[in-house]
Structure 1
Amino acid sequence: MNKIISFILIVIFLSSCSEYQKALKSEDLSVKNKVANAMYDKGKYNKALRLYEQIAPAYRGKPNAERLFYLYSKSYYNTKQYYLAGYQFESFASNYPKSEKREEAAFLSAECFYRLSPRYSLDQTDTDKALNKLQAFIDTYPDSEYLPKANEYVKELREKLEKKAFEIAKQYYTISDHRLEYNAALTALDNFISDYPGTPFKEEALFLKFSTAYKLAMNSVQYKKEDRLIFAKNAYATFTKFKSDSEFKNKADAMLATINQELQQFSK
């Protein structure tokens, strides 16, 4: 019985392969479309894609090709070719505005850009594109069943951009070793804190601002030193007001003690 079943499966497999090969070579668009749909239904998306790619130019713009272009787009999506899938879904949504699949296509187009977004340390052009696409979807379909997922993606992407911005500001702090670079670091940290007031990185950013102000004051020329020590002391106050039990508190307290000691020379 097992041999019979195996034989039947082999025959079906060979028949399927033969049907697919014939469709690839066929000049009949309907044959290619039929076999492509069969390959898609079987989860053989790469094979379906090869056939859809052959016939798509001939069907482009035709109202009766709606299902074809939907499956064509999904084949790119299911094979993780997200650039091409995003383009095809966007084209589908534009060409078939009355389609019941339009909303899904618009969401999947935006999702493709989300999936193309790289880790935070790399260029974030695709992240910006994804946010624009997702926001456009949310604005167009405020009651969509895909809205929770779209909002989740937006939150994740914004957090990624926020982390990128923080790492850039932190880099200014890391490389600073003279007065001009200290000022650049202070500006970068101030901009970050202003741009992302609710950021989870605020505690560290405020500490780095204080630490930078401390370094600037300690390396300052004498006639500017008092003002810069006071500025650093104010930065300490802002930092501790935000997070009185910060993990950076001990380091900050040690620097504050030095600041207070340095300020004594100006009170005489």
Structure 2
Amino acid sequence: MKKIPLLGLSFLLLISCERRLNQALKSTDKNLILKVAEEYEQRKKYSQAISLYEYANKFIVGTDEAPEVSYRTAYLNYLDKNYRLAAHQFKNFVMSYPKDSRADEAAYMAAYCYYVDSPDYNLDQTNTRDALKELQLYIDTYPNSDKIAECNRMMDDLTRKLEKKAFENAKTLYKVTEYKAAIISFDNVLSDFPDTKLREDILIYSLRAKTELAVNSIHRLQNERINDAVNSYNNFCKLFPNSDYLDEAKRLNNRLENARITYQNKENNINEAKDQSEDKLKSAEKERKNKIS
């Protein structure tokens, strides 16, 4: 008896599976279709199982099997990492079968799929914001669920990602010396995320930006900007008296004080020149009147 090589055996099995899949996809026997779909599902051939369950839908509309197939299709798309599609299907399940015992779980899975589809902080965060909305919707809809704590944890995770994104954007503005825009952006991060754990880093970056803006400002705007930066320095020291950035903050404040001295000297020179100019005008006017008389 000849032995079939292992590679050949694998090929034959593949051909057999393909034939069975094609047979099911051409069949009108819902029992055969669902049976083959379950076989593929058990073998973790998710895409084939999904195709079969989707094909079976037209044969089971309005039957007791419809909710089961709908839920399985959504879950298989989740396992196959088709997260946005799975989320959509879980939401449709909840809307179509609100009284089903799995409605709570499906609503949670919809939110969870949005969560796992959230990208790294340095990418577009549209999906992250969608995930936050879906998780909040689940919490509002199922306030007594045992999954509330996990939803809150995921929301915290997503919020930290948005904080990081906003902070990094502000840092980029600082690095390219767009100090005015950077200061506004740092302020917005603190306003949008009042509980952020990045507050210390945000405030030192804001102080750096305000110092650069003040020191390099035109004269008529410099005093106000110096005062604003010094106020930021005092606030930083008050909030973080033991900060690792404290020495740097003090150096920045010294630059501000030196800039204040320079500003004041220039202001004195301007006022002195103005007084001298006014004196000259008065002298010229007096001389003119004397000549007339």
Say whether the 8 Å CA contact 2:37–2:50 is kept in structure 1. yes
The TM-score, its normalising length taken from structure 1, stands at 0.86
1:104, 1:34 → 2: CA distance? 25
Q: In 2, distance between residues paired with 1:32 and 1:151?
A: 40
Q: Give the residue type in structure 2 aligned to 1:128.
A: R
- 1:58 deviates by 4.1
Residues 169, 188 of structure 1: 8 Å contact kept: yes
Bigger mean CA deviation after superposition, 117-126 or 258-267: 258-267
User: Helix, strand or coil: the match of 1:47?
Assistant: helix
Q: Equivalences for 1:176-255 in 2 at 5 Å?
A: 176=177, 181-255=178-252
Q: 1:47 to 1:262 in 2, by over 3 A?
A: closer
Matched residue of 1:145: which SS? coil
Q: CA deviation at 1:88?
A: 1.1
Is 1:108 the counterpart of 2:105? The answer is no
Counterpart in the other structure of 2:172: 171
Deviates more, 1:258-267 or 1:217-226: 258-267
**TM-superposition CA deviations, 1:110-155 (whole Å, max 9, x none):** 1111111111111111111111111111111112132222222111
Q: CA RMSD in A?
A: 2.6
Q: 2:260 is matched with which residue?
A: 263
1:143-181 deviation per Cα after TM superposition (whole angstroms, max 9, x unaligned): 2132222222111111111111111222222222xxxx3
Counterpart-to-counterpart distance in 2, 1:47 and 1:63: 23
The equivalent of 2:50 in structure 1 is: 49
With 150-159 and 63-72 compared, the bigger mean Cα shift is at: 63-72
Q: Distance in 2 between matches of 1:158 and 1:227?
A: 35
Distance of 1:20 and 1:145 partners within structure 2:
40
2:114–2:131: 8 Å Cα contact kept in structure 1? Answer: yes
Tell me, which stretches of 5 or more residues in structure 2 are unaligned?
A: 269-293
Q: Does 1:90 align with 2:91?
A: yes
- Shift of residue 209, structure 1, vs aligned partner: 1.5
What is the number of residues matched between the two proteins? 257
**Matching residue of 2:153:** 152
In the alignment, the residues of structure 2 paired with residue 80 and residue 131 of structure 1 have an alpha-carbon distance, to the nearest angstrom, of 19
Identity %: 37
Q: Distance in 2 between matches of 1:166 and 1:262?
A: 28
Deviations 1:59-79 (A, max 9, x none): 345554111111111111111
Query: Is 1:36–1:47's contact at 8 Å kept on the other side of the alignment?
Result: yes
Partner of 2:128: 127
CA contact (8 A) 2:30 2:60 kept: no
State the 1:200 CA deviation.
1.3
Scaled by the length of structure 2, what TM-score is found?
0.79
Contact 2:71 2:90 in 1 (8 A): yes
Please state if 1:36 is matched with 2:37. Answer: yes
Deviation, structure 1 residue 37? 2.5
Q: Following TM superposition, by how much is the alpha carbon of 1:57 offset from its aligned partner in structure 2, in angstroms?
A: 3.8
> Partners in 2 of 1:246 and 1:187 — Cα distance?
23
Q: Distance in 1 between matches of 2:182 and 2:209?
A: 7
Deviation by residue 1:24-43 (Cα, 9 ceiling, x = unmatched): 33232231022213332444
* Distance apart, 1:191 and its partner CA: 1.8
Contact 1:113 1:126 in 2 (8 A): yes
Q: d(CA) in 2 for partners of 1:256 and 1:14? A: 73
In structure 2, what residue type is equivalent to 1:76?
A: N
CA distance 1:123–1:261, shift in 2 (3 Å): same
- Residue of structure 2 in register with 1:140 after alignment: 141
The question of whether the paired residues in 2 share the 8 Å contact of 1:40 and 1:71 is answered with: no
